[in-house]
Amino acid sequence: MPSIKIDGTVFEAAEGATILEAAQQAGIRIPTLCYLKDANAIASCRVCVVEVEGQEHPVPACATAVRDGMSVTTDSLKIRAYRQVALDLIISDHGLDSTRYCFSCDKNGACELQALCREYGVLEPTYRQAKEHKPILDANPFLSFDPNLCIVCQRCVGACNATARNHTLATGKRGVRTVIEAPFGEDWLATGCESCGNCAQACPTGAIAVKRRGGYRSWETERVRTTCPHCGVGCQLDLVVKDGRVVDAEGAPGPSNQGLLCVKGRSASFDFVDAPDRIRTPLVKNSATGEFESATWDEALDLVAARFAEIRDAQGGGALAAFACSRATNEDIYLFQKMARTVFRTNNVDCCARV
Partner 1 sequence: MGETLAKLSIASKVEDDALLGAFLERHGRRIAAMPPGICPVAAQLSLLQAAAAQTCGKCVPCRDGLPRLVAMIERVAACEAGEDELRACRSLAEMVRDTSDCAIGYEAAQALLEGMDAFASEYESHVRSHGCREGVKQSVPCETLCPAHVNVPGYIALVEAGDYAGAVGMVRKDNPFPTACALVCEHPCEAHCRRTLIDAPLNIRGIKKYAVDHAPADTVPIPVHSADTARTVAIIGGGPSGLTCAYFLALMGHRVTVFEARKQLGGMLRYGIPAYRFPRERLDEDIRGILSAGSITARCECPVGLHEMGEIAETYDAVYIAIGAQTGKTLRMDHADAAGVMSAVDLLGRIGDGDYPDFSGKRVVVVGGGNVAMDCARTSVRAGAAEVTVVYRRRKEDMTALSAEIESAIAEGVEMIVLQAPVGIETDEAGRCAALITQPQMIGPVRGGRPAPIAADKPQDRVEADVVLIAVGQDIQAAPFEEYGLETNRGCFVVDEYLAVTGRDNVFAGGDCQTGPATAIKAIAAGRVVARNIDEYLGYHHTLRSDIPVPQAHENDRTPRGRVEITERPARVRRNDFDHVENGMSREEVEQECGRCLRCDRFGFGVSEGGRQQYA
Q: Smallest gap, in angstroms, from Cβ of residue 176 to partner 1?
A: 5
By CB under 8 A, residue 57 contacts partner 1? yes
Rounded Cα distance between 154 and 237, Å, is: 24
Output 65 or 349, the one with its CB closest to partner 1: 65
Q: Which CB atom, from 121 or from 172, has the smaller least distance to partner 1?
A: 172
Does 42 help bind partner 1 (rule: CB under 8 A)?
A: yes
Distance CA 25, CA 265 (A): 31
Min separation Cβ 201 and partner 1, Å:
17
Helices 77-92 + 112-119 axis angle, to 10: 140
Size of the site for partner 1 (CB under 8 A): 26
In sequence order, which residues have a C-beta less than 8 Å from that of residue 92 and are 6 or more positions away?
A: 125, 126, 127, 128, 129
Distance in Å, CB of 140 to partner 1, minimum: 19
Residue 65, judged by CB atoms within 10 A of its CB (0-12, 13-18, 19+), counts as: middle
Min dist. Cβ of residue 203 to partner 1 (A): 15
- The helix or strand, by DSSP H or E, that contains position 351, with its residue range, turns out to be strand 349-351
Per CB under 8 A, 237 contacts partner 1: no
Provide, rounded to whole angstroms, the least separation between the CB of residue 161 and partner 1: 5
Pick from 8, 9, 77, 132: which binds partner 1 (CB under 8 A)?
Answer: 132
Q: Answer yes or no whether residue 171 interacts with partner 1 by CB under 8 A.
A: yes
301 binding partner 1? (CB under 8 A):
no
Phi first, then psi, for residue 227 (nearest 5°) are -100, 135
Report if residue 176 touches partner 1, rule: CB under 8 A.
yes
Using the contact rule CB under 8 A, the part of the chain among 164-172, 194-202, 309-317, 338-346 near partner 1 is: 164-172
278 lies in the binding site for partner 1 (CB under 8 A): no
Alpha-carbon distance of 340 to 166, in angstroms, equals: 39
Closer to partner 1 by Cβ: residue 21 or 248: 21
Contact 192, 168 (CB under 8 A): yes
Per CB under 8 A, does 172 bind partner 1? Answer: yes
Distances (CA, A) of 352 to 98, 265, 327, 342, 349: 48, 17, 9, 21, 11
Interface residues with partner 1 (CB under 8 A) are 16, 41-43, 55-57, 59, 63, 65, 132, 154, 157-158, 161-162, 170-177, 179, 181
